[in-house]
Amino acid sequence: MLIILCILLINIIATVLFSNVVFERFYINAKYNELKDYAGKINKYFAEMDISLPYFRANLINAFDEIERNNIEIIWFIYNPTITHADIGYATKITGRYLANYPPDTKEVEEYISALIESGDLNSIENVYEYKTSDINAGKHNINLITLVYENYDVQSDNTLRSYIVLSSPKEYIATTAKTVSRFVLHVSLVTLLMGVIAVVIISAQITKPIVKMNKVADKIAKLDFSESCDVSGKDEIGALAGSINEMSAKLQDSIDYLQQRAQLLKKDLEKHEGSNKLKKEFIASVSHDFKTPLSLIIAYSELLTDKYKDNEETKNQLMIIADQAVKMNLMVNQLLTLSQLESGTVKKEDSIFCLSEAVESVVKDLHIMIEQAQIKLTFNYQDDYIVKGDYNKITHVITNLLENAIKYCDEKKIINININEIDGKIRTSIYNTHRGIPEQSLPNIFNSFYKEDKSRGDSSKSYGLGLSIVKAVMEMHNGKYGAYNSNAGVVFWFELEKRDI
C-alpha cells in the first residue's frame, strides 16, 4: 500500500513540475498554429475576392472581428518599399475601434511598423500569401505572425505597393492560461491522490482483514486453542488457505479430544493393559501422518500468496507469520513421527564404525549459521579421534538435538563447550551451555515425551518437548547411557558410546 501511495505522490509532483514548463510551451505552439490558420484564411479571402469591390473592406473587417474575439490583435497596412513608408489601414485596439472611422493615437502602431521595416522582416517575405513569425514587439511581449496578402504596382508613382497583415497574441494571456491549467492539474492530482488513498485503504483492508484473521486463528491453533475459525468467503487462494486452516483445526481438535480421552483411559488401565502404550504410539503416528497433508497445503498456499502479494508489505508479513507457524507445526509432526518410529521399533539400528569427533565436527558445521546468528562462543575439545560403533545417522541426530537445545537455551553469556573424553572405557560426549540451571526435580523428567520445564526453558521456547525424547530413544536403542546435570553456572547434557579399537 505504501508503494502505491508513493508512486501516486511522485506522479503528482512530476505532473506539477512538468506542467509549469510544458503547458506554456504547448500553448505558445498552439497559438502559433492558430495564427497560421487565421493567416491562411485571410490569404484565401484576398486570393478569392476582388479588393476593388465596395463591400470588400466591410467583409474583411467582419473577418477581423471574428479573429479578434480570440484575443488576437490585427494590424493591416500598405508598405511602399521604395520610400520606406507605410499607411495604416486597420489596427485593433482594446475598444475595438477602427482607424478608418475613429482614428486613435497610432503612435505605438507606427513605431511597431517602423521597427518591422528596420528589422528587414517585411522584405524577407518574397511571395504573396507567404507568412513568417517575428520577434519584433510593440511595447509588450506578443506572438507575432506577418503575412503578405497582396502586391500591386502603382503606375503613377512607379512604385510597388505591398499590403501586410500582422496577427499578434499576447504572451501574458498565454502564461496566465498555462498557470490556470497548472493549478487545475494540481487540484485534480490532489483529488486523485485522495481517491487513490481511499481506494488503496479499502482494497488493502479487504485483502488484509481475512489474512489477519487467519494469522490470529493460526496463532491460537499453535497454542492448541481451537475456539476460533477462519471465514471462508471465496474460492480464491485466500479462501482455500482459510479452508485448509479450518480443516487442520478441526482435525487437531478432534485428535486432541480423542487423545485426551484415550489418555484418561490409559492412565486408569495402565497396570491392567500392557498394550495400552503401544496403542498410544500407534495413535500418535497415525495422527502425525494425517497432519502432513493439511500442513503442506497451508505452507504451499502461504508461499503462493506471499509471492502474489509481495508488493503489499503488511499482507506479506501476515502471510509469513502463518507460514512460520505452519513450519513450526510441521517440525512437531516430523519429531512425532521420528519418536514414534524409534519407540515402536519400526526403525532398525544400522551399526558402523566411525570417528565420533568427526561426527561432532560435521554437526557443528551444519549448524554454523544458527551458531553465528545466536552469536555463540563455541569451543570443541578432544584428545583423540575416539572411534566408536553405532548408527552414524542416529548418533548425529542425538548430537544435533543436544547442540540445538544448548543454542536455544544459552543465556546472555553465550558460551557452549563440547568435550569428548574417555571414562572407564566409554566415550562420553558432553555439551555444556551457560544457563541459570534446571530445577533438580525436573532433571529426571526432561527426557520424557512432551515434557517441558517452563520456568527453566522460557516462554519463548521453540521446542515441543520431543528433541530430548528422541535422544533418549536413540541411546536406549544403543544401550548407551545419557543424562543431564547442572554445573558451574550452566547445564551439561551427555551421552556415552562403546569405544572401538581399529
User: Does residue 148 sit in helix, strand or coil?
Assistant: strand
What's the DSSP call for residue 209?
Answer: H
CA 140 to chain centre: 53
Beta-carbon contacts of residue 430 (< 8 Å; ≥ 6 apart): 417, 418, 419, 420, 421, 492, 493, 494
Residue 491 pLDDT: 94
Which ranges of the chain have pLDDT less than 70? 1-5, 7-9, 11-24, 93-105, 138-140, 157, 173-178, 181-182, 205-207, 232-234, 270-293, 295-297, 301, 324, 326-346, 450-465, 502
Distance CA 229, CA 33 (A): 69
What is the pLDDT of the chain when averaged over all its residues? 78
Residue 129 pLDDT: 85
Residue 281 pLDDT: 55
Residue 100 pLDDT: 44
Residue pair 1/311 in contact (Cβ under 8 Å)? The answer is no
Per-residue model confidence as pLDDT tens digits over 119-157: 888 888 888 888 888 877 755 677 888 999 888 877 776
Distance CA 190, CA 18 (A): 15
* DSSP string for residues in 225-276: --S-------SSHHHHHHHHHHHHHHHHHHHHHHHHHHHHHHHHHTTT-TTH
Residue given cell 528589422 in the structure block? 119
> Please, which contacts does 54-60 make with residues 24 or more away whose CB atoms are closer than 8 Å?
57/100
HSE-CB for 120 with a 13 A CA cutoff? 1
| Cell output for 27 | 500553448
* H/E stretch holding 201: helix 171-222
- End-to-end distance of the chain based on CA atoms, in angstroms? 67
With helix as H, strand as E and coil as C, how does 362-408 read?
HHHHHCHHHHHHCCCEEEEEECCCCEEEEEHHHHHHHHHHHHHHHHH
Residue 459 pLDDT: 45
Per-residue model confidence as pLDDT tens digits over 384-437: 889 999 999 889 999 998 999 999 889 999 999 999 999 888 999 999 999 988
Residue 398 pLDDT: 92
Q: Which residue, 7, 10, 2, 5, is CA-closest to 317? A: 2
The CA–CA distances, whole Å, from 274 to 266, 280, 302, 330, 449 equal 10, 11, 44, 31, 19
Residue 1 pLDDT: 52
* H/E stretch holding 118: helix 107-119
- Give the full edge-to-edge strand order of the sheet including 73-80: 85-91, 73-80, 159-170, 142-154, 131-134
Exposed e or buried b for every residue in 115-139, given b needs 16+ CB within 10 A? ebbeeebbeebeeebebeebebebe
- Give all domains of the chain, ordered by start, each with its CATH number: 2-177 (3.30.450), 224-344 (no CATH), 351-498 (3.30.565.10)
